[in-house]
Amino acid sequence: MTLYYKDQDTNALFDRYLASERDERDRIAEDLYERGKLLCLQIHRRRFQDVPIEVAEELFHEALMYVLEKGKPGKNFRAFLSKVSVHKTVNWLKKNRQNERSLHSEEEEFWARVLESLRTDPVDFAARELLERALDCISRLPERQRRTMQLFMEGFSYKDIGRIVPGSVKDHLFHARQNVRKCLKERYGWSADDFFAT
């Protein structure tokens, strides 16, 4: 991280950005970016732990672009950036929660389709029984693990799952598989090695 204007106050630097020519604006914008990123990541850690860090960085970038475009001389840069960043994050959370609600009903439909196909398709009885028991164990998983497993089984990529389910997709899948294996062994006395390839 190279700050070109280390000794200059952030608000004075913001005013200078607004009054400067294009060449100097780019260099000042880099400094404001570094200073603002630290501020927004601190806000993220304190208030919005449910938002994935990649999303927080993207929202910070959008907030900074907005502040640089709409800013006026004399405005407090940190306060303005904080306000815009929090506003964009809250909007993202609201939108994400609406998607979660619709996904919840889609999830129920998904499991209903899987179970219905098991009842109607002529499948080897042992494989069918293992799958039914595995689905029972999957339905008992914590919400994030269950949703990650369902999306993975539907063919979503890790990146796409990460946009829908907060947290590390690989961690959720790892723990989901471990919990399903444990559930199958404890509840049914079955080995899940045939069900989950490692």
Higher per-residue pLDDT: 41 or 169: 169
pLDDT of residue 198: 38
User: Do 155 and 80 fall into the same domain?
Assistant: no
Report how far apart the first and last C-alpha atoms of the chain are (Å, whole number). Answer: 41
CA-to-CA distance for 53 and 106, rounded, in angstroms?
Answer: 26
Tokens 């069900």 -> residue: 195
Q: What is the pLDDT of residues 55-87, one digit of tens each?
A: 888 888 898 889 888 888 888 888 888 888 888
Higher per-residue pLDDT: 98 or 14: 14
Q: Domain range spanning residue 147? A: 122-188
Structural contact between residues 71 and 18, judged by C-beta atoms closer than 8 angstroms: yes
Q: What is the pLDDT of residues 132-170, one digit of tens each?
A: 788 888 889 999 999 898 888 877 888 888 888 888 888
CB burial of residue 78 (10 Å; 0-12, 13-18, 19+): middle
Q: How many CB atoms lie within 10 A of CB 154?
A: 12
User: Do 14 and 88 fall into the same domain?
Assistant: yes
pLDDT of residue 16: 84
Does residue 116 form part of some domain? no
User: Do 73 and 146 fall into the same domain?
Assistant: no
pTM > 0.85: no
User: Do 126 and 80 fall into the same domain?
Assistant: no
User: Do 57 and 130 fall into the same domain?
Assistant: no
pLDDT of residue 141: 92
Count of domains forming the chain:
2
Structural contact between residues 32 and 14, judged by C-beta atoms closer than 8 angstroms: yes
pLDDT of residue 188: 81
User: Do 82 and 156 fall into the same domain?
Assistant: no
Query: With the CA atoms of 41, 47, 49 and 52 taken in that order, what torsion angle do they form, in degrees rounded to the nearest 10?
Result: -50
Residue type, 60: F
Cα 39 to the center of its chain, rounded Å: 20
User: Do 133 and 173 fall into the same domain?
Assistant: yes
Query: Tell me, what CATH number does 162's domain have?
Result: 1.10.10.10
Q: Is 15 helix (H, G, I), strand (E, B) or coil?
A: helix
pLDDT of residue 195: 47
31 pLDDT more than 60: yes
97 pLDDT more than 80: no
User: Do 86 and 157 fall into the same domain?
Assistant: no
Among 76, 94, 112, the domain boundary falls at 94
Q: What is the pLDDT of residues 100-135, one digit of tens each?
A: 555 555 656 655 665 566 566 655 555 567 677 888
